[in-house]
Chain A
Amino acid sequence: MASKSSVEIITEWDIVAARQLGRNEAKALGFGTVDQARITTAISELARNIYLYANIGRIEIERVDTETEKKIVVTATDQGPGIHDIRKVMEEGYSTSGGVGAGLPGVKRLMDSLEVQSVIGEGTTIRAEKWLR
């Protein structure tokens, strides 16, 4: 079974809504308190990036619950300026510099996987997964 839901990020309070959605889904799938907190914090970071640097975007939460796979997939999409050098934003220490893609190494560590796709002038899609073990 897979279920998808999403939140538009326009105002700062939408970050809270995205967090809430992520936490509910994580809880429903059976993640413990600590992992719920991690997933929520990761969503919060991604949503905040959209709010601060892309203005408008969307956080989509997918709950995958099958025999073989149990995971939360978070996808952050925006039509912002895009990330110029993805390798660079994945480098440690970049998070303190601000700008699009800030804090991604931290998000990657909170989750199990992180993929970034970005086109300059068109926007960025970030997909992060957390597996229930």
Chain B
Amino acid sequence: MAALGREKMKQLEAQYKKILADYIVNQTEKNLYIAQNFTRQLIQKNISPEDVISIHKNAIAEIFPDRMNEAQPAYDFLIEVMVHYGMAHREHQSLLQKQAEYEMEMKIATSIQKALLKTHIPKLSTVDIGMLSVPARKMNGDYVHFFYHRDDYLSVAVTDVVGKGVPAALCMSMVKYGLETLEYAYKEPSYVLEVINRVIEKGVDDSMFVSMFYGCLDTQRNMFSYASAGHEPALHYNAKQDQFVALEAKGLLLGVLPNTKYTYQEVILEDNDIITMMTDGVTEFRGNDHLNSRQIITSVIRDNKYLSAQQLCQLLYREIEKIHGFDLSDDFTVVILKK
């Protein structure tokens, strides 16, 4: 390119001419190997295709001066043609560079997101808590938030942004800060959903929706109250009856309408009962529709109910990952509470 000085260009031309002349005389593989190394140097110096043709033309003109009369127009023609190729080539180069920059930014954004949306799993003497959240891509569109007050109350919000990747992650930071402003109101599931709904409805693009399951366990009364905004129902394992009950609660997704009301339900937890909350990454078996996800989840829990809550989460992940051929297409999040 023009940026390369005339002197430098003359040097390259001299080198090229030598390599070409050697090849014309000897025609060995070694000559060609040297040519390949020289090409590497040309690319590194950003020499465009049209310049390479020009270098070649000048070399030929010196090696075979008497042939040049006929060949000159053909070379000039090729230079013209290659100018356009050179343009495309440079554009490609600069897009590659841009891509590298984006990837770098993405990496930084991912680590910021991880730090921002890190869930701290509380340790309580009254209930065993397990949580696992694994993103399908770099950024996680699921988020779990815990609140607790001494050993008496434990609240958990399990959220899933409709969508994945960067937009989902950005939206999720908003949910997190919405939850953090709740302070002492975290014990009322329907109130929490109403507040977060307003936050999302006001602050986020119309195309963004969030589902949330919110539950609060009062360990004194053994009462689990819960509400849902378009989220997967949680599963309650009743140890005494050895049965699973789906904790269904109807409610619109968050962010759809400004004044949506949510109702809450209550269920009594007995000793050894297990509550499993999850996102649809756990229950949706795309391409494996013949499998009943509910059956798989309940049998994993029932067969391993003596494991700790955290071990149960991990086991469930391993089992479901296996079913998906170790390629989960959605963010996977599960929270387990064991009385």
Contacts and interface: CB of A to CB of B under 8 A. Distances in A.
A joins B in a complex? yes
Interface of A: 32-35, 37-38, 40-41, 92-93, 95, 103, 105-106, 109-110, 112, 130, 133
Q: What DSSP secondary structure best describes chain A's contact surface?
A: helix
Interface in B1-44: 2, 5-6
B90 A109 contact: yes
Interface of B: 2, 5-6, 50-51, 53-54, 57, 76, 79-80, 83-84, 87-88, 90-91, 94-95, 98
8 contacts: A38-B50, A41-B84, A95-B91, A103-B87, A105-B91, A110-B83, A133-B2, A133-B5
Given A37-B83, A109-B90, A133-B2, A92 B54 contact: no
A34 B98 contact: no
Nearest to B3: A112
Contacts of B6: 133
Contacts, number: 47
Nearest to B98: A92
B79 A92 contact: no
A106 B83 CA distance: 10
Contact of A35 (B2, B84, B91): B2
Given A33-B76, A41-B83, A92-B98, A106 B2 contact: no
B56 to A, nearest CB: 12
B98 A106 contact: no
Q: Which of B53, B79, B87, B88 has the largest number of chain A CB atoms within 10 A? A: B87
A46 to B, nearest CB: 13
Contacts of B94: 92, 105
Contact of A33 (B79, B84, B95): B79
